[in-house]
Copies of this chain bind each other. A is one copy, B any other.
Amino acid sequence: MKRRYAVLALDRFERDAKTAHGVIAYGSDEVVAVIDPACAGRTVYDVLPHLASEAPIVAGVDEALRYEPTALLIGTAPQGGALPPDWRQAVLEALEAGLDVVSGLHDMLGEDENFAAVAREHDCEIWDVRKPPAVPLFSGAVYGVTAPTLLLVGNDCAVGKMTAALEIVRAANDAGANARFVPTGQTGIMIAGWGIAIDRVISDFAAGATEQLVLFAAHERANLIVVEGQGAINHPAYAPVTLALMYGSAPDALVLVCAPQKAHIEGFETPSLGYAALIRIHEELLATVKPAKVVGIALNTRGLDEATARAEIERAQAETQLPADDVVRFGPHRLYGAIAPALTRHAPLRSAAVA
């Protein structure tokens, strides 16, 4: 049964609620209200027109209840993943009103004694989407998958890798494929209803968890598997997750997702890599593990005027000799059409040998 979400985004909806934005734009569950006193009285469309939702923004949980939600969605996943302290009261109010709670935080709300007790009392469920299942070590079974697998990689966190993956899946399915989006982070899991937050998996098992996701998609008879990317290969904190996805998904092809105006990794002085360096380093890392090429570039031109956006797309194409486009701004069909011929499983496969 579909959920009706009230999305909790206290004072953060406009700027710092990537989870909320993703679920509103792409989720199959309905968002009936957003809770953020800073924007109360307006609609989602008023604040963020590109999300194309008329859901009202209200000041508190009590007011959100008027729109008959069935669940409270924690609309943010801050670095480190702790529940902002002033959000506790809202979570308790929601549970007391009988709402389920869906959270992508590192903090497991279901393991909080107070929340767990109130949830039991009111017969509510707490779904910590980031809580990983037990998974085996990477085995190499993924090398036997015959459907072509595409992995999204990028020049930083939060540049639109999940969105690009969802848009490419949409274009592929419009073109008659049975493409499947493979969620690897909390927002993707909330949107698709399955997946594993790879950043929450014990390091030794991160490639193995990714492998399991691709095997699941293959088992569901997908004929194109599109794996959500995470982090960036030169991100000082999160690159290990990026690399686990690269080796664990054993892709046949990569699409680079870049915010072209980025000068450095968010929060650090580490410079962002340019197209040539990104292509070289991803392809070199994969060369001995599961050879794969970058086949296209999905630019995130948000905040640029249209002429500048088109110029950035031209520049990316000229510099890399690869197809490029902004799949949100201009739709995914042109880029998908250009990369589709490259999405074949032509690369030599490597199989795991029991040593």
Which residue of chain B has the shortest Cβ distance to A237 in the bound complex?
A: B138
The residue on B at minimum CB distance from A139 is B237
| A79 and B137 in contact, given A234-B285, A352-B267, A354-B267 (Cβ under 8 angstroms) | yes
B residues near A237, Cβ cutoff 8 Å: 137-138, 204, 207-208, 247
Residues of B near A136 (CB, < 8 A) are: 80
- Stretch from A20-28, A31-39, A193-201, A324-332 that touches the partner: A193-201
Cβ of A281 under 8 Å from chain B: yes
Residue of A204, A206, A352 ringed by the most chain B CB atoms within 10 A: A204
- The complex is assembled from copies of this chain, and their number is 2
A305: interface (CB < 8 Å): no
Q: Residue-by-residue, is A237-272 near B (CB-CB < 8 Å gives 1, otherwise 0)? A: 111110110011000000000000000001111110
In the complex, what residues of B have CB within 8 A of residue A281's CB?
284-285
Number of residues on chain A facing chain B (CB within 8 A): 51
A280 / chain B contacts, CB cutoff of 8 Å:
284
User: A307 interface residue, CB < 8 Å from B?
Assistant: no
| CB proximity to B under 8 Å, residues A209-257 | 233-241, 243-244, 247-248
Q: Closest B-chain residue to A199, C-beta based?
A: B204
Least Cβ distance of A137 to chain B in Å?
5
| A334 interface hit (Cβ, 8 Å) | no
Verify A270–B106 contact, CB threshold 8 A. Answer: no
Minimal beta-carbon separation of A311 from chain B (angstroms): 25
Any B CB within 8 A of the CB of A273: yes
Considering the complex, which residues of chain A in the window 263-307 have a beta carbon less than 8 Å from any beta carbon of chain B? Answer: 266-271, 273, 280-281, 284-285, 288-290
Q: Mark A126-154, 1 if CB is under 8 A from B, else 0.
A: 00000000001110100000000000000
- In the complex, are the beta carbons of B268 and A352 less than 8 A apart? yes
A353 in the interface, Cβ–Cβ < 8 Å?
yes
Structural contact, A140 and B233, CB atoms closer than 8 A? no
Contact between chains at A140 and B203 (CB < 8 Å)? no
Which residues of chain B have C-beta atoms less than 8 A from A1's C-beta? none
Within the assembled complex, what's the spacing in Å between the Cα atoms of A237 and B235?
20
Give the docked Cα–Cα distance between A206 and B202 (Å): 9
Closest-by-CB residue of B relative to A140 is B268
Cα distance A285–B268 in the bound complex, in angstroms = 16
A344: Cβ under 8 A from any B Cβ: no
A3 at the interface (CB under 8 A from B): no
Asked if A351 is an interface residue, CB under 8 A from chain B, the answer is yes
Given contacts A234-B289, A236-B207, A244-B240, contact A355 B266 (CB under 8 A): yes
A337 within 8 A of B: no
Neighbouring B residues of A267 by C-beta, 8 Å: 352-355
A41 contacts chain B at the CB level, 8 A cutoff: no
**Residues in B whose Cβ lies below 8 Å from that of A198:** 203
CA distance A80 to B137 in the complex (A): 6
Return 13 A-B CB contacts under 8 Å, by A number: A79-B137, A137-B237, A198-B203, A200-B202, A201-B202, A201-B203, A207-B238, A207-B240, A234-B285, A236-B352, A239-B289, A240-B244, A268-B353
